Structure 1
Amino acid sequence: MARPERRYRPPMPQVIAARYELVELLGRGGMGAVWRARDRTLDREVAIKEVSLPQGLDGAQVERVYARTFREARSAARLDHPGIVTVHDVVEEDGRPWIVMRLVPAPALDRVVRAEGPLPPARVAAIGADLLDALRAAHEAGVVHRDVKPGNVLLTRDRAVLTDFGIATVAGDETLTQAGAIVGSPAYLAPEQARRQKASPSSDLWSLGATLYAAVEGHPPYVRPDVWGVMAAVLSDEPDPQRLSGPLRPVLDGLLRKDPAQRMHPDEAGRLLREIAQGPARHVPAWAPPHGDLAPGPANLTAPPAPATTTHGDGDAAGDGRRPAAPARWAVIVPAAVFAAVLVAGVVAVVIFVNGGGDGAGDPPSGRPSAGASGSGPRSGPARGSGSRGSVPAGYRLYNGPAWVAAVPEGWKAEPESRDVTFRDPDGAATRGISVQRVADVTGNEAKWLDDAAAQFKNDKDYPDYKQVRYQENVPFLGGQAAEMEFTFTKNGKPGRVWTRLFSFNGGLYDIVMIAQQGNWEASRPYFTTFLDTFRAP
């Protein structure tokens, strides 16, 4: 029998904007967490989205993303449609935006498919008709969702409801890009979005087609072993063969056209979806894209000009009858996936080497022993492998998070950033810390990811005097094979050293990083080995 899902509840009530009391964590996504909360003023339950940002953004980038979030939440609040989760309010707490929405007590489509398997075509058609109506209402109001996927579709008893307009963009508004981040889910990302072109209502139609495909087939249109394969397939391959779609096949074929101008019109898609949903399965004629009567549009609708090193043939202008040449993979992968390990280490460096103090020499101030030295804290920490997993050595405490637990040195301060946490030694002379970050919602290829990140360190101005000390693949960890490396660098004149381990865990890729001044390195290593040895699921 399946174990009931445990909900994470804050240890003490947290109140946002002196009004909304957080009750329990409902779920997490790429742009933050969603909480069930109680509106103390109106005495009603609401959902609150806690907006979290990718690590590594500077102050100006953070301000731009927050400004964009406030603006988009206000735009989403204009939408009044039964198929769209209502946005009640957007408030600021601790300098960050929180989006208050109607609480819809209904399962998401992805969970329904996992529990029930592929859904019947007629049921999927009804879901699609509801979502299409919601999207058309949003598009008429000038709002593009940008992240239509099964996880953002809630199935109530009466209809399908679309949620999470938190990363939507307002048509015609100034674009505030989230530097170096994937906005959207790769498996449901329209090809033009994968090439970092501006999302449009047609992009939402492609994502709707991918969502309906997943509902009726039981998996996304492109099943590949890793995110690189998915992104490459979205750009150049036809969707995987359909086995169960039946009468839905023409609709899916029409919505999943790579050229936005060639996709099925929403009027036609809506008519077919309603017919399939209302009657017994019947034959729907194969749909063909429009020809000849297309209004001339801008050249190269689906691919930006590729650098000379990534050119693959000619004829990439729209309307010439030839498929645009796909740029090399590195020209189209959004940098967040590639640089995630770089960003997390960079944030830790800023936290510790800028805010942590210390003189870089590694010697404790007079009369005050450094943690890890004799006289304070654990003398050296246990060696790797000592103690059984789950036990807490003397001088440590067990940190219990919603996704994982681990032993942390007593006195180290936790600085949570949504699902990411940095632990910092408060001893200014020690200048060290450990950070945990979920860097991607895919698993596998740890060595590839870390190797790509390592290549970027060499030319990163934030890591002067960079020197790789060790790189290792196939490190046994949590039943899988992790990748890890160590390197040295200089920050603000202080020599530092990093040990980072990248691994698959809980359906995603995680990165655990320790950073310390070089003078404290040997005394700091046992803290990290203990943290790794005790890291596990709750």
Structure 2
Amino acid sequence: MAQVIATRYELVEVLGRGGMGAVWRAHDRTLDREVAIKEVALPSGLDEAQVERSHARTLREARSAARLDHPGIVTVYDVVEEDGRPWIVMQLVRAEALDAVIAREGPLPPRRVAAIGLDLLDALRAAHAAGVVHRDVKPGNVLLPRGRAVLTDFGIATLAGDETLTQAGAIVGSPAYLAPEQARHQKATPASDLWSLGGTLYAAVEGRPPYRRPDMWGLMAALLSDDPDPLERAGPLTPVLHGLLHRNPDERLRPDEAERLLRQVIDAPPAPLPYALHVPRDVTLPRPVPQPTPPPGPGPRGTPPPRPARWALIIPAGVFSVALLAAVVAIVVFVNGGGESGDGPGGSRASGGPRTGSAASGSGVPTGYERFRGSEFVVAKPKGWTTDGSGDDVTFKDPSPSVIRGIAIQRPSLGLGQNSDPGDALATTATQFKNDSSSYPEYRQESFTRHIPYLGDRAAELQFAFTRNGKPARARVRLFRLDGALYLALLVTEQKNWDASLPYFETFLSTLRKAS
């Protein structure tokens, strides 16, 4: 015989169970409609006073959830008591939960995750405007009916300003998606929901929660002291995830900025092919034209044989999680320079080789270098090297026809700011390089350093080797902050020029300063 709650709701089947109880599909006999009913389960061992407080909290929070009227929030219809415990009657949404979708499909595409994020963000804004904090945003509480995302289970939500009725010392919420301040038993706020939103989107695009630890103790310790694990698949979602998952709630991304970054992901054109780079600055990159292999000997009218095709550094679509793509596109231009024969390995008729031991009198610039001023920085560049670009997006190239090498400095402009961690961004990039064998054939990571003291802050550095058109090449990338803004410096050379080129890069980094 079917169980009937409050002489009205007939329980049909269990839809799911969790730490806070079970959810049933039920039939409302009075209105002849299907509903979802949450059976609130209390932990064992509570005394009578604790049970009363827990019931009071559930009733109050169900009433707070019933105040919310938004298409992105599952509607609460009723709350009743049966068998000495509360039952929350809700709208029945026939849809799969996000955690089930992730389990079945694996990591989801960034654009799809961004669309889910916009729906959830809109729902949370409505809840926060009504003074309601969810406190348990997670993939299991996100339902995905066709074309939209809906937030459910406000069963542990709280009215902002209400006295907490939760048992002292208890952790309310799912630890894997808990904000650090909640883990410290501080009051949950709208910013806490935004952290959990970031964790939910992280799980959707990466296929796992922000912290991968073997047990609950390790998870809680990481939540209290560590940054989330580095992103690998987030691509253009990286800036918004870094912003939402900032450990300090006061510096966490605000809803308006989160919305802007999510819409930027959705509105962006499809990722181009490696040779069809989208460059958000005034740089022209011609499509490489295959070069026929010339026959040996002089050409018509005694002209010398054409030079072999110059090797090119191909920047893969989505590199640096899209936000840093513009920062390295210029490298395609300067690496296409250089030639084959001339002064031999490491030679440079223009600069005559690096000199780092002495400074020109009164200038503070080492001998063999000259001062360059960008919009926000000054630096010593090798004397005689050509300059491409201006402001804070500049490439310096050795003009010698026998050498292929250059140094670039760029300021990313697509969402990475002072809250972005250089180590996370560079770790994501290293993974993308490794997985993109077509763009970096024979890619070999040689070193990765997450924390390098630099300019009063910390930087990250990646060094790797690869082969292009049969020519061994190497690169070193440093990501750092200068006066709160994120910058990138990059050295790229042929393998044969590597040792002779490193002093140029070291001098470049050591002389870089904020412009006064």
Q: TM-score, normalised by structure 2?
A: 0.53
Aligned to 2:165: 176
Aligned to 1:15: 4
Aligned to 1:430: none
2:71 to 62, 73, 82: 82
Deviation by residue 1:252-283 (Cα, 9 ceiling, x = unmatched): 00000110001011100011112212333573
Deviation by residue 1:69-123 (Cα, 9 ceiling, x = unmatched): 0011011000000000000000111221100000000000000000001000000
2:220 to 205, 223, 231: 231
Aligned to 1:243: 232
Question: Are 1:58 and 2:47 counterparts?
Answer: yes
**C-alpha separation between the residues in 2 aligned to 1:65 and 1:167?**
10
The answer as to whether partners of 2:171 and 2:182 remain within 8 angstroms in 1 is no
Aligned to 2:209: 220
Aligned to 2:174: 185
Aligned to 1:42: 31
Amino acid at match of 1:106: A
Question: Are 1:272 and 2:267 counterparts?
Answer: no
Aligned-pair distance for 1:185?
Answer: 0.8
Aligned to 1:152: 141
**C-alpha separation between the residues in 1 aligned to 2:194 and 2:113?**
15
The answer as to whether partners of 2:261 and 2:415 remain within 8 angstroms in 1 is no
2:19 to 21, 30, 45: 30
Aligned to 1:394: none
Task: Map 1:81-120; keep pairs closer than 5 Å.
Answer: 81-120=70-109
**C-alpha separation between the residues in 1 aligned to 2:83 and 2:184?**
35
SS at match of 1:98: strand
**C-alpha separation between the residues in 1 aligned to 2:144 and 2:418?**
31
Amino acid at match of 1:288: G
Deviation by residue 1:214-267 (Cα, 9 ceiling, x = unmatched): 000000010000011111111111111111100000000000011000101110
Task: Map 1:206-217; keep pairs closer than 5 Å.
Answer: 206-217=195-206
Aligned to 1:288: 417
Aligned to 1:164: 153
**C-alpha separation between the residues in 1 aligned to 2:140 and 2:207?**
14
**C-alpha separation between the residues in 2 aligned to 1:111 and 1:86?**
22
Amino acid at match of 2:25: R
2:193 to 184, 204, 219: 204
The answer as to whether partners of 1:54 and 1:181 remain within 8 angstroms in 2 is no
**C-alpha separation between the residues in 1 aligned to 2:150 and 2:232?**
27
Aligned to 2:366: none
**C-alpha separation between the residues in 1 aligned to 2:263 and 2:5?**
42
**C-alpha separation between the residues in 1 aligned to 2:415 and 2:36?**
42
**C-alpha separation between the residues in 2 aligned to 1:280 and 1:178?**
50
The answer as to whether partners of 1:254 and 1:289 remain within 8 angstroms in 2 is no
Question: Are 1:131 and 2:120 counterparts?
Answer: yes
Aligned to 2:330: none
SS at match of 1:26: strand
**C-alpha separation between the residues in 2 aligned to 1:286 and 1:268?**
10
Aligned to 2:286: none
SS at match of 2:153: coil
Structure 2 unmatched runs, 5+: 272-321, 324-413, 421-455, 458-516
**C-alpha separation between the residues in 2 aligned to 1:259 and 1:180?**
22
Aligned-pair distance for 1:182?
Answer: 2.6
The answer as to whether partners of 2:242 and 2:419 remain within 8 angstroms in 1 is no
**C-alpha separation between the residues in 1 aligned to 2:270 and 2:103?**
24
SS at match of 1:82: coil
Aligned-pair distance for 1:56?
Answer: 1.3
SS at match of 2:125: helix
2:110 to 121, 143, 161: 121
Amino acid at match of 2:84: G
Distance 1:66 1:250, change over 3 A: same
SS at match of 1:219: coil
Deviation by residue 1:322-379 (Cα, 9 ceiling, x = unmatched): 9xxxxxxxxxxxxxxxxxxxxxxxxxxxxxxxxxxxxxxxxxxxxxxxxxxxxxxxxx
SS at match of 2:208: coil
Question: Which stretches of structure 1, 4 residues or more, deviate above 4 A after TM superposition?
Answer: none
**C-alpha separation between the residues in 1 aligned to 2:157 and 2:190?**
11
Aligned-pair distance for 1:180?
Answer: 4.8
**C-alpha separation between the residues in 1 aligned to 2:205 and 2:266?**
13
Q: TM-score, normalised by structure 1?
A: 0.51
Structure 1 unmatched runs, 5+: 1-11, 292-320, 323-538
**C-alpha separation between the residues in 2 aligned to 1:280 and 1:111?**
29
Question: Are 1:258 and 2:387 counterparts?
Answer: no
**C-alpha separation between the residues in 1 aligned to 2:270 and 2:65?**
36
The answer as to whether partners of 1:38 and 1:45 remain within 8 angstroms in 2 is yes
**C-alpha separation between the residues in 1 aligned to 2:230 and 2:415?**
15
**Superposition RMSD in Å:** 1.9
**C-alpha separation between the residues in 2 aligned to 1:176 and 1:278?**
44
SS at match of 1:65: helix
**C-alpha separation between the residues in 2 aligned to 1:98 and 1:16?**
8
SS at match of 1:176: coil
Task: Map 1:431-446; keep pairs closer than 5 Å.
Answer: none
Deviation by residue 1:134-173 (Cα, 9 ceiling, x = unmatched): 0000000000000000000000102100000000010011
SS at match of 2:52: helix
